C-alpha cells in the first residue's frame, strides 16, 4: 500500500540546483570562485538563513511571518543602542536583541492564536510596528555596532574567525548548519515539531486530538521571532551600521528561500535542511548574478521565476500523490 519514496525530493533537487548554480557562476566568472567572494557571500547569508529557518515554522503551519525583516533591524537597533549609549556589555545587548525578537514573536503568536487574526494581517501589523519602533528606540539614528577591532566587538568572531596566518574562516556557517540540524530534529522528532505539521495539515483534527493548539501556535511564531532575533546579531556583525527604516523586503527573500526549499506554500510539509538550501539558492542568485553581468533588477526577475518553478513543483507533487 505504501508508495516507494522517490529519492528526488524537492530538497535533493534544490541541493543539486545549488551546487549547479555555484559551478555555473564559477565557470562564467572566475572572480565568483574566489575565496573572498565566498566569504562575503557567507557573511550576508547568515541572517537570511536564520530568518528562513525561523519562518519555516509559521509557513509549515500554513501561516506566514512578515515581521522578521523589519523586526531583525529593530532588534539590532535596540541592541546597538544599548551598547552605544548605555555602555551595556555586548553579550547582554545581544541577549536583549534576541529576547526582543522572541517577544515580538510571542506577540505575533498571541494575535494569531488567541485573538484569531489571520497570520498575514497580524505579522503585517508587527512588520509596520517594528519598522517604526526601530526608529523610535534610536531616535531615528543609524546605530553602529562595535567594529571587530574595538574591545566590545568580539561578537564578530562568532561568525568569522581570523587565523594566525590571516586566513579567515566562515565560522557562522558552522552555526547555521548546527542550528539547521537542531531545528530539523525539533521539527521531526519533538512534539512541538509534530504539532507544527499537524496544525498546518489539519488544524481542526489537531484541536480535536486534544492538542493545546493555541499554545503551540504561539510557540511557532515565537520560534520565528527568536530566529529573527538571532539574525539581528548576524546582521549587526556584517553590516555594522544599522539603519532604521530598512529591512522591509528581506523577509520575502527568507520566505522565498523556504518555499524554494520545499516548504509547502499551503502548509503541512517542509524540512529545515530544505529551507536552508533554498535560502542559499536565493542568496546565490542575489550574489552571483551581478558577477555574471546581470544587474540587480534582472536578478529579482530571475528569482521570481525560480520561485514560480519551486511552487509549481510543490503543486505537481501534491497532484501526483492524489
Q: 218-247 mask for other proteins (x: CB under 8 A)?
A: --------------------xxxx-xxxx-
Residue 129, CA distances (Å) to 238, 245, 248 in order: 24, 11, 12
* Binding window for other proteins (CB under 8 A); candidates: 14-22, 51-59, 172-180, 183-191: 183-191
Distance of alpha carbon 85 from alpha carbon 104, whole angstroms = 23
- 17 grid coordinates: 540546483
Residue 188 has a CB neighbour count (10 Å cut-off) of: 12
Applying CB under 8 A, among 16, 20, 28, 34 the residue interacting with other proteins is 34
Q: 35-64 mask for other proteins (x: CB under 8 A)?
A: -xx-xx--xx--------------------
Residue 320 has a CB neighbour count (10 Å cut-off) of: 9
Distance of alpha carbon 65 from alpha carbon 307, whole angstroms = 18
Site for other proteins in 119-138 (CB under 8 A): 131, 135
Applying CB under 8 A, among 55, 102, 111, 198 the residue interacting with other proteins is 198
Cβ 216 vs Cβ 60: under 8 Å: no
By CB neighbour count within 10 A (0-12 exposed, 13-18 middle, 19+ buried), where does 87 fall?
exposed
312 is a site residue for other proteins (CB under 8 A)? no
Site for other proteins in 247-266 (CB under 8 A): 248-249
> Min. distance of Cβ 58 from other proteins in angstroms?
16
Phi, psi of 161 (to 5 degrees): -115, 145
> Min. distance of Cβ 205 from other proteins in angstroms?
4
Smaller CB distance to other proteins: residue 41 or 230? Answer: 41
Distance of alpha carbon 47 from alpha carbon 51, whole angstroms = 6
> Min. distance of Cβ 20 from other proteins in angstroms?
21
By CB neighbour count within 10 A (0-12 exposed, 13-18 middle, 19+ buried), where does 321 fall?
exposed
Give residues in contact with other proteins (CB under 8 A). Answer: 1-3, 31-32, 34, 36-37, 39-40, 43-44, 81, 84-86, 131, 135, 139-142, 144, 147, 149, 160, 168, 185, 189-191, 194-195, 197-198, 200-202, 204-212, 238-241, 243-246, 248-249, 268-269, 286-287, 290-291, 295-297, 299-300, 321
Amino acid at each position: 500500500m505504501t508508495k516507494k519514496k522517490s529519492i528526488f525530493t524537492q530538497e535533493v533537487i534544490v541541493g543539486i540546483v545549488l551546487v549547479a548554480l555555484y559551478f555555473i557562476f564559477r565557470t562564467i566568472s572566475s572572480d565568483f570562485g574566489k575565496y573572498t567572494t565566498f566569504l562575503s557571500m557567507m557573511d550576508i547569508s547568515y541572517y537570511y538563513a536564520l530568518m528562513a529557518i525561523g519562518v519555516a515554522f509559521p509557513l509549515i503551519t500554513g501561516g506566514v511571518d512578515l515581521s522578521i525583516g523589519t523586526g531583525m533591524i529593530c532588534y539590532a537597533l535596540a541592541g546597538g543602542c544599548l551598547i552605544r549609549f548605555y555602555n551595556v556589555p555586548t553579550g547582554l545587548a545581544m541577549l536583549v536583541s534576541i529576547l526582543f525578537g522572541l517577544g515580538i514573536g510571542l506577540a505575533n503568536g498571541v494575535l494569531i492564536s488567541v485573538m484569531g487574526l489571520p497570520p498575514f494581517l497580524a505579522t503585517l501589523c508587527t512588520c509596520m510596528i517594528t519598522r517604526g519602533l526601530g526608529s523610535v528606540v534610536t531616535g531615528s539614528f543609524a546605530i553602529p555596532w562595535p567594529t571587530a577591532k574595538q574591545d566590545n566587538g568580539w561578537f564578530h568572531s562568532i561568525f568569522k574567525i581570523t587565523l594566525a596566518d590571516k586566513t579567515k574562516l566562515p565560522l557562522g556557517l558552522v552555526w547555521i548548519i548546527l542550528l539547521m540540524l537542531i531545528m530539523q530534529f525539533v521539527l521531526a522528532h519533538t512534539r512541538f515539531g509534530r504539532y507544527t505539521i499537524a496544525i498546518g495539515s489539519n488544524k481542526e483534527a489537531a484541536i480535536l486530538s486534544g492538542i493545546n493548539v493555541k499554545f503551540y501556535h504561539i510557540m511557532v511564531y515565537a520560534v520565528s521571532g527568536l530566529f529573527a532575533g538571532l539574525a539581528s546579531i548576524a546582521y549587526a556583525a556584517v553590516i555594522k551600521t544599522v539603519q532604521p527604516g530598512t529591512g522591509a523586503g528581506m523577509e520575502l527573500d527568507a520566505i522565498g528561500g523556504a518555499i524554494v526549499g520545499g516548504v509547502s506554500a499551503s502548509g503541512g510539509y517542509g524540512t529545515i535542511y530544505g529551507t536552508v538550501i533554498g535560502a542559499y539558492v536565493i542568496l546565490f542568485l542575489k550574489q552571483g548574478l551581478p558577477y555574471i553581468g546581470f544587474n540587480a533588477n534582472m536578478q529579482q526577475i530571475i528569482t521570481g521565476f525560480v520561485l514560480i518553478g519551486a511552487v509549481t513543483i510543490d503543486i505537481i507533487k501534491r497532484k501526483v500523490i492524489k
